[in-house]
Amino acid sequence: MRTVRALQRLRGVLVRPCPPPLFVRSWSVAQSQSFSSSSAEKPMPGNSMLRHLTSKIKATGPISVAEYMREVLTNPVMGYYVQNDMLGPDGDFITSPEISQIFGELLGIWCLSEWMGAGKPSRFQLVEFGPGRGSLANDILRVFSQLRGALGGAAVSVHLVEVSPKLSQVQAQFLTGDQSQVSASEDEPVYRQGTTTTGLPISWYRNLDDVPRGFSIYLAHEFFDALPIHKFQGTEKGWREVMVDIDPDEPGKLRLVIVPAPTLASTQLIQADEKRRHVEVCPEGGVIVQRLANRITEDGGAALIADYGHDGTKMDTFRGFKGHKLHDVLASPGSADLTADVDYSYLRRMAGATVACMGPVSQKDFLKNMGIDTRLQVLLRNCADPSTRAQLIQGYDMLTNPLKMGERFQFFTMLNHSRLTRPEPEQSKGGKKMAPVPKKGPAPLPVAGFSELGLS
């Protein structure tokens, strides 16, 4: 099969060391640990954010959890993502692409495989949402460079949707080796441009709407979990929204309250047949998925969303992380990461019928289907250094072990319907089949990662 062949052609070069696996933002750990204490924590930037939030609440009343999350994470002046490089050993959490290069390599093969499955269009945009430090893109671009022949001269370009100026700088340094320029005006839709170290044009945007139209493979790894959620609670009087208010007993502290009357969100965002008593909904994620579905339908391509999540079953997953520990979501706002599990059933509903959706499948199954075992063996064969070998094995275990990231992280894809259908036989001018009746086109290639690869 083509993904296996691509794997075999990937040389076993070790290009980056894996950091020691640290804390991942996982829900079952959240349930078993208590929140770290908050009041004695370092005052900045939490305090300025806290002042900003309390004056907002004093002026207009309690704010939704979504507004709280949006302000805390992406406020243009003091937002957590805007100010920090939060990934890695010295940050607040670690992600799969940071743990092992194999993760990005297999996603690179997935991108190539979907481009081939779409009939190898001559222009190919790789679009990544929230690229963090750029490690995933870097590993994918290395695969593209090594398998240049397979890309057969397609015009490949890279497009990063990133809200954080700080992280975009880290990404640019890593991916272009400083070969990028910031746009003259802050209002430009493309705020940074350059050339990757592998020679491809690369651009940075704040919004998907600014990314040029055309055949694209969209990737979002640990991006949707950072988007603001609304929280709701079922009460005797019906659904009510949970909001953030000032604690009347301690005016410097925030607390969660259930508002007595319905809000626009509580009347619009809950499904009529909802069975859970606590529900989290991420309308911003829904809008992005709708826009992706529209682009994939009109321009061709696919989206791969990978995150910890559930299929419409979990209830209270909103949590904070700081220094690789759980952190009270309301304490020192702006100093810690906030996150909530992705509800894939909601994303599927928002995607609608214009695209084909597959998944979610567990990270373990996805990576195994992509050939992670073969890739690990190749790397180990080419590596004599005992500590690097140990790190490769540790990284593999972290990514695939069901007790670590193997089950909690899940993969979901949206595809153009044509990707899964056999081309119809040609019709004669009058709409009648020509004689002899031509056979239908070849069966579509299976979607890598979502079904097991044949090893023939």
226 scored as a contact of ligand SAH (CB under 6 A)? yes
Q: In which element (H, E) is residue 372 found? A: helix 372-381
* Non-local CB neighbours of 321 within 8 Å, separated by 6+ positions: 23, 25, 92, 93, 327, 336, 337, 339
Do 26 and 315 form a contact (C-beta atoms < 8 A)? no
Site for ligand SAH, residues 165 to 194, rule: CB under 6 A = 167
130 part of the interface to ligand SAH, by CB under 6 A: yes
81 φψ region: left (φ > 0), alpha (ψ -120 to 50), beta (else): alpha
Q: Please report the sign of the dihedral spanned by the C-alpha atoms of residue 11, residue 13, residue 15, residue 20.
A: positive
The span from the CA of 45 to the CA of 132, in Å, is: 20
Does 163 interact with ligand SAH (rule: CB under 6 A)? yes
- Quick one: which of 74, 290, 297, 374 contacts ligand SAH (CB under 6 A)? 74
Non-local (6+) Cβ contacts of 197 within 8 A are 141, 175, 176, 177, 179
If one counts every other C-beta atom within 10 angstroms of the C-beta of residue 294, the result is 14
Q: Given the complex with ligand SAH, which of 104 and 117 has the nearer CB atom?
A: 104
Q: Which lies closer to ligand SAH via its Cβ, residue 161 or residue 361? A: 161
- Hey, is 326 helix, strand or coil? strand
DSSP annotation of 204: E
Residue 102 engages ligand SAH in binding (rule: CB under 6 A): no
Judged by CB under 6 A, the residue of 81, 215, 318, 412 near ligand SAH is 81
Residues in contact with ligand SAH, counted by CB under 6 A, come to a total of 19
Closest separation between CB of residue 39 and ligand SAH, Å?
A: 27
Question: What is the distance between the terminal CA atoms of the chain, rounded to a whole angstrom?
Answer: 6
Query: Considering the rule CB under 6 A, would residue 223 count as an interface residue with ligand SAH?
Result: yes
CB of 180 vs ligand SAH, minimal distance in Å = 16
Residue 74 or 374 with smaller CB distance to ligand SAH: 74
Compare residues 306 and 356 and give the one whose CB is closer to ligand SAH. Answer: 306
The secondary structure of 379-441 as a DSSP string is HHHT---HHHHHHHHHHHHHHH-IIIIITTEEEEEEEEGGGGSPPPPPBPTTSSBPSSPPPP-
How many whole angstroms separate alpha carbon 275 and alpha carbon 312?
A: 10
CA atoms of 9 and 353, how far apart (whole Å): 37
What is the pairing mode between strands 355-362 and 409-416? antiparallel
Q: How far is CA 311 from CA 33, 70, 180, 204, 274, in A?
A: 24, 24, 40, 32, 13
Q: How far is the CB of 307 from ligand SAH (least distance, A)?
A: 9
Q: Does 222 bind ligand SAH (CB under 6 A)?
A: yes
Cβ closer to ligand SAH: 131 or 194?
A: 131
Q: Is 132 in the site for ligand SAH (CB under 6 A)?
A: yes
Say if CB 341 and CB 76 are below 8 A apart. Answer: no
d(CA 206, CA 191): 8
Part in contact with ligand SAH (CB under 6 A); list of ranges 14-22, 124-132, 150-158, 237-245: 124-132
- The structure tokens listed for 260 are 């007595």
* Contact status: 221 vs ligand SAH (CB under 6 A): yes
Residue 139 C-beta-side C-alpha neighbours within 13 Å:
26
CB 306 to ligand SAH: min, Å: 8
Tokens of 118: 């779409």
Using CB under 6 A as the binding rule, whether residue 131 contacts ligand SAH is answered as yes
- Residue 395 contacts ligand SAH per CB under 6 A: no
> Segment near ligand SAH (CB under 6 A), from 127-135, 186-194, 347-355, 398-406?
127-135
Q: Which two tokens stand for residue 180?
A: 């990028």
164 touches ligand SAH (CB under 6 A): yes
Assigned token pair, 395 = 């990284």
- Applying CB under 6 A, the span of 6-14, 160-168, 266-274, 414-422 interacting with ligand SAH comes to 160-168
Choosing from 67, 71, 98, 280, the residue that interacts with ligand SAH (CB under 6 A) is 98
364 binds ligand SAH (CB under 6 A): no
Q: How far is the CB of 130 from ligand SAH (least distance, A)?
A: 2
Interface region with ligand SAH, contact rule CB under 6 A, candidates 28-36, 104-112, 129-137, 242-250: 129-137
Closest to 292 (Cα-Cα) out of 351, 377, 222: 351
Which segment (31-39, 95-103, 309-317, 432-440) binds ligand SAH by CB under 6 A? 95-103
Task: Check residue 95 for interaction with ligand SAH (CB under 6 A).
Answer: yes
Beta bridge partners of 87: 93
Three-state DSSP class for 252? Answer: coil
Q: Which stretch binds ligand SAH (CB under 6 A): 101-109, 217-225, 351-359, 411-419?
A: 217-225
Stretch that binds ligand SAH, among 142-150, 159-167, 360-368, 435-443 (CB under 6 A): 159-167
Q: How far is the CB of 205 from ligand SAH (least distance, A)?
A: 9
Among 21, 46, 91, 97, the residue binding ligand SAH under the rule CB under 6 A is 97
Residues that bind ligand SAH (CB under 6 A): 73-74, 81, 87, 95, 97-98, 130-132, 161-164, 167, 221-223, 226
